[in-house]
Chains A and B, each alone.
Chain A
């Protein structure tokens, strides 16, 4: 098959071969073989999933269970990009939106095939316990501290997140915490720790809810809260809160960065995990095409997520727990 493509040297065939490689793995090969045998169909036609089953990859018809966070799901990102993957492999993705903690716990029990979450500390623990395989950096956005426009504690424009939190604590201004072991909650607790403040008292409320609900509660009570930028943007039209401390995307402190990672459930621990399809998914979502789709996804005219799977420089830290080194025995 390779030879045949090499013989015909017109531009289109070459492009088809390249796209076949881009499609990665089995689907790409299926695309090539049907292109070579038929006249000159476009690669998308042969990958469309409507032709004979012989052209479909072996995983066709299977279902991939993805446990993820509310921020990737509620912003509509996954529903926007998944159809491409589903068409490519003839599969379905069942996305279950939980908090980061719950998503990892579900995977730990062997009830999902792949996880997409945003709390590096918890991800590392998951990897170290042997439940995860092949972690990749996926994308990032950032956290912002939001609050009522009149800003009773006076934190607007501060360029230190920890200073802002300390100010809120000193003023005993209302603060809403997720309190649900999610990625955002984990980040918030890390921030309080970095600020050297132990939050507590009437002004500090743990809601135990998703980001959207926490924003609603903060909105109704005129309280401050920590939110990922994506969920805040997607909900901005429904609420009166405003961004008071920016994250790194808008020049704020680096401590408010919000990186998302994706990893497969270890088939060595859970043999029924759909590892083939999980790896196909990871391959696809970290591919140039899907990364571009992530970058292009907008809500209310604003970009919500910034791809970071593809870098020119090697990045070995994405595969292992942070600070891990092969020298350290």
Chain B
């Protein structure tokens, strides 16, 4: 990790002011990770309930979730904007142009893919596994745990898909975050994606490409870490 940090600045700091890239990267990472963690705590229970229970309108809920996967991020941004704007229902909390508003919109964006893919993974677990767990005297909770364990790769994929959606989207964070840096160039609500958009707007395609490369490396790194954690978790059991 340390070696990586030592190597990178030579590339990173070239066309940018000091701290610009790191602070932008940090905002991207903290906003997306927070949104995905919150979304995971919300989505997995929903997926479990839907995977195990039968209720009227289940197909409808499913299709709503699946539709949500294709929901354009700018539309989500607009909805969150209306909510957090001074005139909106959450206006008194003064969240517009803050990371909180960005987390909110990314939560909305990440939840459908995490729920839908987790649900697919859970329902995809072989029926025999459930039956076996039940035959061995497992209660409802035990059966659920066995099924989740079987579905863990699918669930990890779901979380990564949610993270991928959050970290790569530009429409909503631009609208609700405002793409703000301090006058010293330290990011407040600027993410890598909105920074790329700004550079492209100014015709600075080279610096936009550098930022794009950093974003790709970041996504790769997060994927590697999460998959690694998933593997270790599996071995420890």
Of all chain B residues, which has the CB nearest A95? B180
Candidates A79, A111, A209, A234; contact of B86 at CB < 8 Å: A111
Q: Which A residues lie within 8 Å of B202 (CB)?
A: 74, 212, 234-235, 238
Chain B 176-191: CB-based contact to A (< 8 A → 1; otherwise 0)? 0011111111001000
CB pair B204–A270 under 8 Å, yes or no, is no
CB pair A216–B203 under 8 Å, yes or no, is yes
Q: Which B residues lie within 8 Å of A82 (CB)?
A: 183
Chain B 199-222: CB-based contact to A (< 8 A → 1; otherwise 0)? 011111000000000000000000
Of all chain B residues, which has the CB nearest A273? B86
Q: Which B residues lie within 8 Å of A307 (CB)?
A: none
Q: Could you tell me which residues of chain B, from 210 to 237, have a CB within 8 Å of some CB in chain A?
A: none
Known A70-B201, A235-B202, A239-B203; contact A79-B180, beta-carbon cutoff 8 A: no
Of all chain A residues, which has the CB nearest B184? A83
Whole-angstrom distance from the CB of B202 to the nearest CB of chain A? 4
CB pair A238–B204 under 8 Å, yes or no, is yes
CB pair B201–A272 under 8 Å, yes or no, is no
Q: Which A residues lie within 8 Å of B105 (CB)?
A: none
CB pair A272–B86 under 8 Å, yes or no, is yes
Candidates A79, A96, A215, A235; contact of B185 at CB < 8 Å: A79
CB pair A111–B85 under 8 Å, yes or no, is yes
Q: Could you tell me which residues of chain B, from 9 to 66, have a CB within 8 Å of some CB in chain A?
A: none
CB pair B183–A83 under 8 Å, yes or no, is yes
Whole-angstrom distance from the CB of B57 to the nearest CB of chain A? 36
Q: Which A residues lie within 8 Å of B126 (CB)?
A: none
Whole-angstrom distance from the CB of A238 to the nearest CB of chain B? 4
CB pair B188–A235 under 8 Å, yes or no, is no
Whole-angstrom distance from the CB of A93 to the nearest CB of chain B? 7
Q: Could you tell me which residues of chain A, from 59 to 104, have a CB within 8 Å of some CB in chain B?
A: 65, 70, 74, 78-79, 82-83, 86, 92-97
> With an 8 A cutoff between CB atoms, is B94 at the interface?
yes
Q: Which A residues lie within 8 Å of B181 (CB)?
A: 79
Known A238-B204, A272-B94; contact A92-B85, beta-carbon cutoff 8 A: no
> With an 8 A cutoff between CB atoms, is B107 at the interface?
no
Of all chain B residues, which has the CB nearest A74? B202
Determine the distance from Cα of A281 to Cα of B201 in the docked complex, in whole angstroms.
28
CB pair A109–B86 under 8 Å, yes or no, is yes
Whole-angstrom distance from the CB of A110 to the nearest CB of chain B? 3
> With an 8 A cutoff between CB atoms, is A261 at the interface?
no
Known A111-B85, A270-B86; contact A96-B179, beta-carbon cutoff 8 A: yes
A82, A95, A110, A111, most chain B CB atoms within 10 A: A111
CB pair B182–A213 under 8 Å, yes or no, is no
> With an 8 A cutoff between CB atoms, is B96 at the interface?
yes
Q: Which B residues lie within 8 Å of A79 (CB)?
A: 181, 183-185
Determine the distance from Cα of A210 to Cα of B198 in the docked complex, in whole angstroms.
10
Of all chain B residues, which has the CB nearest A94? B180
Whole-angstrom distance from the CB of A325 to the nearest CB of chain B? 33
Candidates A97, A235, A270, A272; contact of B203 at CB < 8 Å: A235
Determine the distance from Cα of A95 to Cα of B181 in the docked complex, in whole angstroms.
8
B179, B185, B200, B202, most chain A CB atoms within 10 A: B202
Of all chain B residues, which has the CB nearest A84? B183
CB pair A97–B179 under 8 Å, yes or no, is yes
Whole-angstrom distance from the CB of A95 to the nearest CB of chain B? 7
CB pair B182–A209 under 8 Å, yes or no, is no
Determine the distance from Cα of A235 to Cα of B182 in the docked complex, in whole angstroms.
23
Of all chain B residues, which has the CB nearest A210? B201
Which B residues fall within an 8 A CB radius of A?
Answer: 85-87, 91, 94, 96-97, 178-185, 188, 198, 200-204
Which A residues fall within an 8 A CB radius of B?
Answer: 65, 70, 74, 78-79, 82-83, 86, 92-97, 109-111, 209-210, 212-213, 215-216, 219, 234-235, 238-239, 270, 272
User: Can you show 9 pairs from A to B with CB atoms below 8 A apart?
Assistant: A74-B201, A94-B180, A95-B180, A96-B97, A96-B178, A111-B96, A234-B202, A270-B86, A272-B86
